[in-house]
Structure 1
C-alpha cells in the first residue's frame, strides 16, 4: 500500500428515509475530502438505519437492487471528488423479501468495484430466526491504488477467523461499517484485536443516534494501526474521524516508542495445533433464547 488519508463519517440515520440519508451523506462527503481523505467509510445500513420496524417485504420495497437508487448519487459523488467510498445499505435480493446487509466499495470513477454481504448477521437480524437479513457467502479483498481493502460489517468483527481470512488474502486495510448495539468495551476490544491479531489497519465506523427499532448508537468510530495503536476516535456525535495510513505501520511495537517490531502474527501461527473449522456452541446458556428450537443449553 501507499500512504494515504482515510476517513470515517459517523452519521445518525433518518429512519427509513433513503433520500434524506443520501442527502445527508452528500453534505458530509465533501467535508472528508477537504481533510485530504482518499478513502471514506460510512456506517452500516446508512440508507435506512439498522432496525427498520418493517417486514422484510416492506424493507425490500423501500431499498433497491445495486446499482440503483440507494447507491447512484453516492457513485456520482465519488466520481466528482475522485475518492473511494465504502457505502453500506440494505440490498434487494433476487426475490421480494430477500435482503442482504451489504457494503459496496465505490471507485474513483464512480463504478462499484467491490461488494460484501454481511456473513454474520446479528441475532434477531438473521432471517432463519425470524429476522430480515440473508447471510452472504463470500469474503473477498479488493485491489486499489491505495492498497488492498477488505470489508466486514459490525457483528462480523466478533469473529477472528473472518478477519484473518481477509488478511491471508492480502488485506492491508479492513473496514468495519457498524451500527453496534453493545458496549464501548466490546467495540474497542474487537477492533483492537482484529487489527493487532492480523497486522492490518482497522477502520471501524459506527452510527450515532437512533433507529426505528428504538436502538441508540454511540459512535466512537476509530482507526487502529496494525500494531494496535489507536490513531483516531470519535465521540457520540455526527462527525468525521480521519488518519494517515502509512506503509511502515509495523516498524515499531507501538506508537510513541523506538522499540522495533520483530514478530509477525500471521507468519508465526502454529497451524499444527489449530482445530477451529467445525461447528461449535458456547458452554454457557444465553440470557435469552433467540434461536427457537436450537436448544441453547450449557453443556455439563
Structure 2
C-alpha cells in the first residue's frame, strides 16, 4: 500500500430519480476533488436511487441500468475528469427478468470499470425471496488499485466478521462499506471499528442521509477508521464530505500517539485448528421476532 487520500461523500439521494442523483454524485465528487484532492472517492449504498424502491419489482427492474450502462458511462467520464478512483453503489439490472443486485462498481480514471461487488448479505426487507427486490451476490472480490488492495462490503455485510476476514485473507488493505443504515449509531460505530480492528485494515464507512421512497430516514455519521480502531474522520447527520490520508505503515504502535510497539497481528495469530465448525450452518441461540429466509 502507498499513502493516499480517501473521501467519503455523504449525500441524500432523491428517491428513484437516477438522472438527478447522477448529477448530485458529479457535483459532490467535484467538490471533494477541489477541497481534498482525493485518490479515492466513496459514495453511500444505492446512491443513484436511494435504498427502498417502494414500487413493484418489475417496475424497478425497468428503471435501473445494467453494468456497464448509461450510469457507469457517466461515472467513467467523471473518474477520468477528476483523475480519481470512484466507488459508486447502485442497483444493477441483472440479465434475467426481475434480478436486481445491490452493487458497488469500482471505477478508475484510465481503467474504466475495474470490477463490481454485489452485496452478499441482504438485509431481510430487501430480499427478493421475502417480497423485497434484491438477489444476493456470491463473490467477495479484492480490487487492485495503484495505491491499495480494496475490498467492498455493503451495509448489512458489515455485521459479518467472516466477510471482512475473507477479504483480508485475499489481501485487502482497505475495506469500504457504502451503507444506508437505519439501526443505532452505537451498532454502526461498533461494527465499523470492530471490522477494522479485527483485521488491522482501514475501514471507510459511508452512510446515506435523508429519506428514501419508503420514508426511511438515514442518519449519516460516515466515518474512517484506522487499523487500530482509531477514528480518523466522522461526518454529522447532513450532506457533507469526510476525508483522511491513509498511512501505509499504520500498526507500528499499539495505540495512537503511544510509544508501545505493536507485537500482535490478528490475522497471523489465528489458531485455525479451533475454527473447524465455522462454515457449518447454524443460528443464534435466541429467537428474533421473525425469521426471514433467503
Q: CA deviation at 1:61?
A: 0.7
- Say which SS state the counterpart of residue 95 (structure 1) adopts: coil
Deviating beyond 6 angstroms after TM superposition, the runs of 4 or more aligned structure 1 residues are: none
Q: CA deviation at 1:110?
A: 5.8
Q: CA deviation at 1:154?
A: 0.3
Aligned to 2:124: 123
Query: Is residue 2:287 matched to residue 1:288?
Result: no
Q: CA deviation at 1:150?
A: 0.5
TM-score, normalising length: structure 1 = 0.95
Q: CA deviation at 1:289?
A: 4.5
Aligned to 2:15: 15
Structure 2: gaps (5+ residues): none
TM-score, normalising length: structure 2 = 0.97
Aligned to 1:27: 27
Kept in 2, the 8 Å contact 1:41–1:85? The answer is yes
Structure 1: gaps (5+ residues): 295-300
CA distance in structure 2 between the aligned counterparts of 1:258 and 1:78, rounded to whole angstroms: 40
Can you list the C-alpha shifts for 1:238-262, whole angstroms capped at 9, x where unaligned? 0000000011111111212222111
Aligned to 1:277: 279
CA distance in structure 2 between the aligned counterparts of 1:187 and 1:110, rounded to whole angstroms: 33
Q: After the TM superposition, which residues 1-300 of structure 1 pair with which residues of structure 2 at under 5 Å, given as runs?
A: 1-34=1-34, 35-109=36-110, 111-274=112-275, 275-291=277-293
Q: CA deviation at 1:290?
A: 3.5
Kept in 2, the 8 Å contact 1:63–1:70? The answer is no
Q: How many residues align?
A: 292
Superposition RMSD in Å: 1.1
CA distance in structure 2 between the aligned counterparts of 1:14 and 1:96, rounded to whole angstroms: 25
